[in-house]
Structure 1
């Protein structure tokens, strides 16, 4: 069944079953936080299973599920930053680390906000070339190569207390790449943080804390867009099913990822991304998926 395009938003998820939305919610929840690209998997998994493309709006709204996982895991960090920032604001201590970190995270979110608004039509329109299997496959390989480069050349010595405003701005600019299916928000930001010399688990911590505003805003924007489209009760129920499944899987995924990066390198993700990209390109070339 063809995707339903309403006012530039792909809402193909209304053609899915509850089982399918729950399954895709689990896929989204895991891949949103692991550096393998959730948007790639949300485009590819339905294609291989012969399901309708759930659309960019569904993928963006599902980021709220990942937000639940990030908040649950980093709740102490988030509470500490919020408390420290408010206290610093009251004391007018603008050099306070917590205040500075929160402020520059907000500033570093501006690039993806501007790019997201500028590219909204191209990213969300049905049949967007950016969502083609070819484009996703190429993005997977390119991002895998960049992640491999940081593993080979980066120092992996810095801790989060050493993060500077320029570090956050550079990582925020790298986050813009996440708008392209196949790149991965966590992949782009973790790669940038690794390139700046941060330890792997510290790079992931910075990536997720910096991504909180972008994930929240992207998810809420799509919820609002779906509200304006007068999505019916069935559509909202499908979305809620995906969100619940995604929130559970994302909580498990972030716990597993952080434990993994404390002990191992990102090479398994590099290999997976490159192999996935090759398979997608071959599948697209052979006409197996479109």
Structure 2
């Protein structure tokens, strides 16, 4: 990859990992549409590491608080609000792990195409619009129950299909359950930590099995630019989402999906 391609792909990963517009779709598209070379497994690991560091640093106080609460009261009969939330993050992560284990190979073989991405981009974009339009916005993150966490976790599992958007579908589920936009986004971002960590770990083990040449400069640039763009994205998204709503992202998804369909069939 050229330095330009490295920077663009890293910024795309950092932004789209947390915006409701699908990171996997945007990382696949340059190869499908622009004819760029596949970025390779090592680069995927590097940019996901940058995104993971960004979300962990941004939510470092929440992570520390939830971890301490879970360790002190997680197995107690008297749960605190923080220990419950820690359990809900764990519970909501389980479906994604199971779905990933069961269907990863199937999705890799049949799901990574422009047609699939175009379809899921439009369909789940419309679902996001409907959820935002009908949302009561009556609950904050402290009102999440184990049933809510399980529903959001099942929604997150569907994001194994490229173009769905992990953050998009978990926010959609949160809005349907009555969460306000910021709470739906915060819970989605907290859920991203174990998912990105797990996916990155598996990808690292896969990487160790192949004799792929490693361009360390590309990995370093990828991780750094992914970190910067991801951190800025989280900060600005949480600051603005209550004011702007989901409509701008819905419009983007519909436009992107339509352009992809034109690219495929015209």
Contact map agreement 2:46 2:220 (CA 8 A) in 1: no
What is the RMSD computed on CA atoms of the aligned residues?
A: 1.9
CA 1:39–1:133 in 2, change beyond 3 Å: closer, same or farther?
Answer: same
- TM-fit CA distance, 1:59: 4.2
Greater mean alpha carbon deviation, residues 161-170 or residues 58-67: 58-67
Q: Report what 1:189 is aligned to.
A: 170
Gaps of at least 5 residues in structure 1 are 1-15
Q: Report what 1:224 is aligned to.
A: 205
Q: Report what 1:47 is aligned to.
A: 32
Show CA shifts across 1:146-179 (max 9, x none): 0011122120121111110111110000001211
1:121 aligns with 2:90: no
229, 233, 237: which one pairs with 1:257? 237
Q: What's the TM-score once normalised by structure 1's chain length? A: 0.85
Contact map agreement 1:56 1:123 (CA 8 A) in 2: no
Q: What's the TM-score once normalised by structure 2's chain length? A: 0.93
CA 1:105–1:130 in 2, change beyond 3 Å: closer, same or farther?
Answer: same
Contact map agreement 1:141 1:274 (CA 8 A) in 2: yes
Secondary structure of the 1:193 match is helix
CA distance in 1, matches of 2:234, 2:68: 24
118, 127, 148: which one pairs with 1:167? 148
CA distance in 2, matches of 1:191, 1:144: 9
182, 196, 220: which one pairs with 1:215? 196
CA distance in 1, matches of 2:237, 2:145: 24
CA 1:142–1:60 in 2, change beyond 3 Å: closer, same or farther?
Answer: farther
Paired residue total: 266
CA distance in 2, matches of 1:31, 1:152: 22
Q: Report what 2:219 is aligned to.
A: 239
Contact map agreement 1:61 1:222 (CA 8 A) in 2: no
Q: Report what 1:38 is aligned to.
A: 23
CA 1:61–1:193 in 2, change beyond 3 Å: closer, same or farther?
Answer: farther
Contact map agreement 1:143 1:183 (CA 8 A) in 2: yes
Gaps of at least 5 residues in structure 2 are none
Contact map agreement 1:105 1:168 (CA 8 A) in 2: yes
